[in-house]
Structure 1
Amino acid sequence: MADNRVVQGRMVTPKKLAELVEGTSVMDAEPISDADRDCPECGSDVLTVGYMPSVTEFITGYKCQDCDWSARES
């Protein structure tokens, strides 16, 4: 599976995708994968990435490939 994916017309790394979801820099991110869901705003494909915004926290982030929608779960 490729490490980088296209999101809103730009190639992003796992860390950059996590930063798009979080809104700030993150410490580390796992490989990007396809989420088994469609975007609630535009119906397009959603990607998921696990990441650590801090040493003690792990977040699962979701980001639409085509629009601004994103969500996070701790």
Structure 2
Amino acid sequence: MSGNRVVQDRMVTADSLAARIEGEPVMEADTIEDADRACPDCGGDVLTVGYMPSVTAFVTGWKCQDCDWSETDRD
């Protein structure tokens, strides 16, 4: 899909979406993709992005396009 998406009425890139999920800037992020799931809080569309918060970690994150809900695949 496209490199930029609208999340909570703001245009985001993969890097800025990953930073919203992580709560701080990330080193690198992959392309934003549609997740095949609905938000458990509001039922809105969910996006997914893989990113590197540090040199030694790769995280997959999910973020609702309509509300504050997000989660990662960290244990």
TM exceeding 0.5: yes
Look up the match of 2:22.
22
Partner AA of 2:5 in structure 1: R
Q: CA deviation at 1:12?
A: 0.1
* Superposition pairs of residues 5-20 of structure 1, within 5 angstroms: 5-20=5-20
Q: Percent identity?
A: 66
Q: Report what 1:33 is aligned to.
A: 33
TM-score (norm 1): 0.98
Superposed CA RMSD in Å reads: 0.5
Give 1:2 shift.
Answer: 0.8
Q: Distance in 1 between matches of 2:64 and 2:29?
A: 17
The two structures have a TM-score, normalised by structure 2, of: 0.97
Per the TM alignment, residue 5 of structure 1 is displaced from its structure 2 partner at its CA by 0.2
The residue correspondences of 1:47-66 to structure 2 (distance < 5 A) are 47-66=47-66
Number of residue pairs matched?
A: 74
1:28-53 C-alpha deviation (Å, 9 max, x unpaired)? 00000000110000000000000000
* Unmatched tracts of structure 2, length 5 or more: none
The 1-side partners of 2:10 and 2:60 are apart by 21
**CA deviation after TM superposition for structure 1 residue 4, in Å:** 0.3
Q: Structure 1 runs of 4+ off > 6 angstroms?
A: none
CA distance in 1, matches of 2:51, 2:12: 14
